[in-house]
């Protein structure tokens, strides 16, 4: 069923069941107004830790906190009626072990109303994924380029080329076997992404991967041209709203300085027409 035809939000099992079917559509959101705009068009909406860079001006996702994710998750949830909401677990909230991950994932879901959490990592996180799933917390996995590991990956590089492809396949199998209902493949060579998609029993969600993935996700501010600090190769700009907004702000400033705003239609008369004082 398409996102536009659906009346209620899907569950993680519904997303899993879309494996090999019509492509899943997803975008990030961090605010209520944006969530309202994309709700009818997305199968699931991700409250990504990319919020740290996009809205808070941080140099990476590493400084994002649980409190930030909860605040933005609550805001996004208020704007959704049709799409499932997935919330990122921020750096440092789950890597210590399964028990720490459960405490923080349970808090995220309870305080935001999320349908699932997403965490980064493959083989190393398989035990944690299994622990969460066994205790009622649906998990979306994320492998390939994992931004929270940027300091050990040596930058925002393509992951899985050459011999590294076998390691990425092992990560993919591990998260699927652990019980993840879907997996994000970020910045992975097209051929490898297609191989993972064909071999895994759960949906693959591409971001810089392949059109052959079971679904796609982008940072909404990237595809709308609102975030312009940099543009990854895998981003297609469907609009240039940042440029349009800047032009509108410049026009407003000019009209204020020229005393052309507010005009007569924007101010109030001393008396109401037809009434006497």
Mark the binding-site residues for 3-methyl-2-oxobutanoate, compressed into ranges. 49-50, 88, 118
Per the rule left: phi > 0, alpha: psi between -120 and 50, beta: everything else, 155 is left
The Cα 45–Cα 86 span in angstroms is 6
Tell me how long the chain is.
277
Q: Which residue ranges are tagged as binding site?
A: 49-50, 88, 118, 120
Collect all residues with Cβ–Cβ distance below 8 Å to 269 and sequence separation of at least 6: none
Annotated binding site for Mg(2+): 49, 88, 120
Respond yes or no: is residue 265 known to be catalytic. no
One of 96, 111, 127, 186 is an active-site residue; which one? 186
> Which residues are catalytic, by number?
186
């Amino acid at each position: 069923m398409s996102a536009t035809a659906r009346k209620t939000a899907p569950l993680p099992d519904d997303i899993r069941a879309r494996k090999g079917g019509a492509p899943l559509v997803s975008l990030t959101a961090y605010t209520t107004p944006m969530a309202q705009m994309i709700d009818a068009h997305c199968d699931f909406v991700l409250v990504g830790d990319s919020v740290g860079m996009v809205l808070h001006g941080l140099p990476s996702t590493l400084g994002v906190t649980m409190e930030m994710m909860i605040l933005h998750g609550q805001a996004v949830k208020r704007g959704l009626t049709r799409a499932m909401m997935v919330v990122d677990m921020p750096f440092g909230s789950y890597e210590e072990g399964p028990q720490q991950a459960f405490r923080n994932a349970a808090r995220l879901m309870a305080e935001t109303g999320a349908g699932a959490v997403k965490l980064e990592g493959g083989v190393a996180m398989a035990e944690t994924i299994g622990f969460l799933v066994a205790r009622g917390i649906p998990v979306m996995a994320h492998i390939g380029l994992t931004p929270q590991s940027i300091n050990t990956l040596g930058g925002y590089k393509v992951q899985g080329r050459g011999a590294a492809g076998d390691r990425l396949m092992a990560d993919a199998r591990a998260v699927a076997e652990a019980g993840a209902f879907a997996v994000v493949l970020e910045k992975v060579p097209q051929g490898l992404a297609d191989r993972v998609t064909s071999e895994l029993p759960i949906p693959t969600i591409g971001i810089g991967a392949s059109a052959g993935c079971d679904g796609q996700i982008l940072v909404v501010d990237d595809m709308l041209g609102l975030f312009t600090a940099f543009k990854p190769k895998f981003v297609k700009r469907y609009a240039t709203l940042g440029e349009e907004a800047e032009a509108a702000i410049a026009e407003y400033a000019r009209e204020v300085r020229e005393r052309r705003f507010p005009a007569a239609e924007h101010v109030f008369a001393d008396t109401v027409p037809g009434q006497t004082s």
